[in-house]
Protein backbone atom coordinates (compact mmCIF):
# COMPACT_ATOMS: atom_id res chain seq x y z
CA UNK A 1 0.00 0.00 0.00
CA UNK A 2 1.36 3.40 -0.94
CA UNK A 3 -1.27 5.53 0.68
CA UNK A 4 -0.26 9.04 1.61
CA UNK A 5 -1.21 8.64 5.27
CA UNK A 6 0.64 6.67 7.96
CA UNK A 7 -2.51 6.50 10.12
CA UNK A 8 -4.47 4.98 7.25
CA UNK A 9 -1.69 2.47 6.55
CA UNK A 10 -1.67 1.58 10.24
CA UNK A 11 -5.45 1.01 10.35
CA UNK A 12 -5.22 -1.14 7.21
CA UNK A 13 -2.46 -3.19 8.91
CA UNK A 14 -4.64 -3.57 12.03
CA UNK A 15 -7.65 -4.77 10.02
CA UNK A 16 -5.42 -7.15 8.04
CA UNK A 17 -4.53 -8.96 11.26
CA UNK A 18 -8.13 -10.07 11.76
CA UNK A 19 -8.95 -13.59 10.53
CA UNK A 20 -10.27 -13.78 6.96
CA UNK A 21 -9.52 -10.10 6.24
CA UNK A 22 -7.02 -9.69 3.40
CA UNK A 23 -5.17 -6.59 2.30
CA UNK A 24 -7.86 -5.43 -0.16
CA UNK A 25 -10.71 -5.91 2.32
CA UNK A 26 -8.70 -4.15 5.05
CA UNK A 27 -8.21 -1.20 2.68
CA UNK A 28 -11.93 -1.07 1.91
CA UNK A 29 -12.81 -1.19 5.62
CA UNK A 30 -10.28 1.51 6.54
CA UNK A 31 -11.60 3.83 3.82
CA UNK A 32 -15.11 3.18 5.11
CA UNK A 33 -14.00 4.19 8.62
CA UNK A 34 -12.75 7.49 7.15
CA UNK A 35 -16.27 8.21 5.94
CA UNK A 36 -17.89 7.51 9.33
CA UNK A 37 -18.54 10.33 11.80
CA UNK A 38 -16.08 10.81 14.67
CA UNK A 39 -18.81 9.74 17.13
CA UNK A 40 -19.37 6.47 15.30
CA UNK A 41 -15.64 5.77 15.21
CA UNK A 42 -15.36 6.50 18.93
CA UNK A 43 -18.17 4.01 19.60
CA UNK A 44 -16.35 1.35 17.58
CA UNK A 45 -13.04 2.11 19.25
CA UNK A 46 -14.62 1.93 22.72
CA UNK A 47 -16.43 -1.32 21.86
CA UNK A 48 -13.05 -2.98 21.29
CA UNK A 49 -11.74 -1.87 24.68
CA UNK A 50 -15.01 -2.72 26.47
CA UNK A 51 -15.06 -6.27 25.21
CA UNK A 52 -11.56 -6.90 26.60
CA UNK A 53 -12.30 -5.15 29.90
CA UNK A 54 -15.74 -6.61 30.62
CA UNK A 55 -15.79 -10.09 29.17
CA UNK A 56 -14.54 -12.94 31.37
CA UNK A 57 -15.11 -16.68 31.66
CA UNK A 58 -17.84 -18.11 33.89
CA UNK A 59 -16.19 -19.99 36.76
CA UNK A 60 -18.83 -22.73 36.55
CA UNK A 61 -19.49 -23.43 32.85
CA UNK A 62 -16.45 -21.60 31.36
CA UNK A 63 -18.71 -19.78 28.89
CA UNK A 64 -18.14 -16.13 27.94
CA UNK A 65 -19.85 -13.79 30.40
CA UNK A 66 -19.68 -10.38 32.05
CA UNK A 67 -21.02 -11.51 35.43
CA UNK A 68 -19.53 -14.50 37.17
CA UNK A 69 -21.33 -16.93 37.37
CA UNK A 70 -23.04 -16.35 34.01
CA UNK A 71 -26.74 -15.76 33.45
CA UNK A 72 -27.32 -19.36 32.34
CA UNK A 73 -25.67 -20.87 35.44
CA UNK A 74 -27.58 -18.56 37.81
CA UNK A 75 -30.98 -18.70 36.04
CA UNK A 76 -33.69 -20.35 38.18
CA UNK A 77 -35.47 -21.43 34.97
CA UNK A 78 -32.66 -23.76 33.93
CA UNK A 79 -32.74 -27.49 34.57
CA UNK A 80 -29.60 -28.10 36.64
CA UNK A 81 -29.79 -31.89 36.11
CA UNK A 82 -28.79 -31.67 32.44
CA UNK A 83 -25.34 -30.50 31.29
CA UNK A 84 -24.61 -29.98 27.61
CA UNK A 85 -20.88 -30.24 26.84
CA UNK A 86 -19.64 -28.14 23.89
CA UNK A 87 -16.24 -27.30 22.45
CA UNK A 88 -16.40 -23.51 22.33
CA UNK A 89 -18.58 -20.57 23.38
CA UNK A 90 -19.80 -20.15 19.81
CA UNK A 91 -21.47 -23.56 20.15
CA UNK A 92 -23.39 -22.25 23.17
CA UNK A 93 -24.64 -19.30 21.08
CA UNK A 94 -25.72 -21.70 18.31
CA UNK A 95 -27.68 -23.92 20.72
CA UNK A 96 -29.19 -20.95 22.62
CA UNK A 97 -30.54 -19.55 19.35
CA UNK A 98 -32.79 -22.61 19.00
CA UNK A 99 -34.45 -21.88 22.39
CA UNK A 100 -34.86 -25.64 22.68
CA UNK A 101 -32.36 -26.42 25.42
CA UNK A 102 -33.14 -25.52 29.01
CA UNK A 103 -30.27 -27.21 30.84
CA UNK A 104 -26.79 -25.93 31.69
CA UNK A 105 -23.65 -25.83 29.56
CA UNK A 106 -20.04 -26.82 29.96
CA UNK A 107 -17.50 -25.29 27.56
CA UNK A 108 -14.49 -27.60 27.15
CA UNK A 109 -12.32 -25.00 25.43
CA UNK A 110 -11.48 -27.21 22.44
CA UNK A 111 -11.34 -30.89 21.48
CA UNK A 112 -8.80 -33.66 21.78
CA UNK A 113 -6.38 -33.29 18.89
CA UNK A 114 -3.07 -35.18 19.12
CA UNK A 115 -1.91 -33.60 15.83
CA UNK A 116 -2.27 -30.11 17.29
CA UNK A 117 -0.85 -31.27 20.63
CA UNK A 118 -4.14 -30.83 22.49
CA UNK A 119 -4.53 -33.55 25.12
CA UNK A 120 -7.03 -34.12 27.97
CA UNK A 121 -5.01 -31.80 30.25
CA UNK A 122 -5.65 -28.85 27.94
CA UNK A 123 -9.44 -29.16 28.21
CA UNK A 124 -11.70 -28.36 31.16
CA UNK A 125 -12.42 -32.03 31.88
CA UNK A 126 -11.81 -32.16 35.68
CA UNK A 127 -14.34 -29.32 36.12
CA UNK A 128 -16.87 -31.30 34.05
CA UNK A 129 -16.36 -34.44 36.17
CA UNK A 130 -16.80 -32.41 39.38
CA UNK A 131 -20.02 -30.85 38.10
CA UNK A 132 -21.33 -34.21 36.92
CA UNK A 133 -20.62 -35.83 40.27
CA UNK A 134 -22.44 -32.90 41.90
CA UNK A 135 -25.97 -34.04 41.00
CA UNK A 136 -26.23 -34.15 37.22
CA UNK A 137 -28.59 -36.74 35.75
CA UNK A 138 -27.72 -36.42 32.08
CA UNK A 139 -24.66 -35.19 30.19
CA UNK A 140 -25.27 -34.39 26.50
CA UNK A 141 -22.07 -34.48 24.42
CA UNK A 142 -22.46 -31.92 21.61
CA UNK A 143 -19.05 -32.07 19.93
CA UNK A 144 -18.63 -31.06 16.31
CA UNK A 145 -19.02 -33.96 13.85
CA UNK A 146 -15.32 -34.34 12.96
CA UNK A 147 -12.91 -37.14 13.72
CA UNK A 148 -11.51 -35.18 16.64
CA UNK A 149 -14.96 -34.35 17.97
CA UNK A 150 -15.87 -38.05 17.82
CA UNK A 151 -12.68 -38.97 19.68
CA UNK A 152 -13.49 -36.40 22.38
CA UNK A 153 -17.04 -37.80 22.68
CA UNK A 154 -15.68 -41.32 23.12
CA UNK A 155 -13.07 -40.21 25.66
CA UNK A 156 -15.56 -38.23 27.75
CA UNK A 157 -18.20 -40.95 27.70
CA UNK A 158 -15.68 -43.42 29.17
CA UNK A 159 -14.91 -40.99 31.99
CA UNK A 160 -18.54 -40.05 32.64
CA UNK A 161 -20.33 -43.40 32.58
CA UNK A 162 -18.70 -44.71 35.81
CA UNK A 163 -20.24 -41.69 37.61
CA UNK A 164 -23.68 -43.28 37.10
CA UNK A 165 -24.96 -40.51 34.85
CA UNK A 166 -26.89 -40.86 31.60
CA UNK A 167 -24.48 -39.96 28.78
CA UNK A 168 -25.98 -38.98 25.41
CA UNK A 169 -24.72 -37.39 22.22
CA UNK A 170 -26.51 -35.16 19.69
CA UNK A 171 -27.76 -36.96 16.59
CA UNK A 172 -25.84 -37.18 13.32
CA UNK A 173 -28.05 -37.32 10.25
CA UNK A 174 -29.45 -35.37 7.33
CA UNK A 175 -29.66 -31.63 7.94
CA UNK A 176 -33.17 -30.18 7.55
CA UNK A 177 -33.84 -28.89 4.03
CA UNK A 178 -31.32 -30.97 2.11
CA UNK A 179 -31.87 -33.85 -0.29
CA UNK A 180 -30.79 -37.43 0.38
CA UNK A 181 -29.36 -37.33 -3.15
CA UNK A 182 -26.78 -34.69 -2.27
CA UNK A 183 -25.79 -35.94 1.17
CA UNK A 184 -22.33 -37.49 1.60
CA UNK A 185 -21.87 -41.18 2.43
CA UNK A 186 -20.79 -40.68 6.02
CA UNK A 187 -23.86 -38.57 6.80
CA UNK A 188 -26.22 -41.14 5.23
CA UNK A 189 -24.50 -43.95 7.16
CA UNK A 190 -24.97 -42.06 10.42
CA UNK A 191 -28.58 -41.23 9.55
CA UNK A 192 -29.35 -44.93 8.98
CA UNK A 193 -27.46 -45.96 12.09
CA UNK A 194 -29.34 -43.41 14.21
CA UNK A 195 -32.81 -44.18 12.85
CA UNK A 196 -35.70 -43.92 15.32
CA UNK A 197 -39.16 -45.49 15.47
CA UNK A 198 -41.94 -43.45 13.82
Residue closer to a second copy (CB basis): 7 or 59: 7
Helices 125-133, 147-160: axis angle to 10 degrees equals 40
Cβ–Cβ < 8 Å for 110, 88: yes
Residue closer to a second copy (CB basis): 3 or 189: 3
Least separation in angstroms between CB 106 and a second copy: 14
Looking at residue 105, the DSSP 8-state letter turns out to be E
Residue closer to a second copy (CB basis): 105 or 132: 105
**Rounded distance, CA 135 to CA 66, Å?**
26
Residue closer to a second copy (CB basis): 2 or 192: 2
Binding site residues, a second copy, CB under 8 A: 1-8, 10-11, 14, 17-21, 25, 27-34, 36, 38, 40-55, 58, 63-66, 70-72, 89-90, 92-93, 96-97
- Neighbour-count burial of 177, counting CB atoms closer than 10 A to its CB (0-12 exposed, 13-18 middle, 19+ buried): exposed
Least separation in angstroms between CB 23 and a second copy: 11
Closest among 106, 131, 109, 130 to 120, alpha carbons compared = 109
Least separation in angstroms between CB 60 and a second copy: 12
Least separation in angstroms between CB 33 and a second copy: 6
Amino acid sequence: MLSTSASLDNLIAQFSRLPGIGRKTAQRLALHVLKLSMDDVRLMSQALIDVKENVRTCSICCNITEDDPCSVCTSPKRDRRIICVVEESTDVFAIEKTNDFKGLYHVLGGRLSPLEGIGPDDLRIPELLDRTADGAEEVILAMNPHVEGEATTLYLSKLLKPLGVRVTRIARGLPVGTDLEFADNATISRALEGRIAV
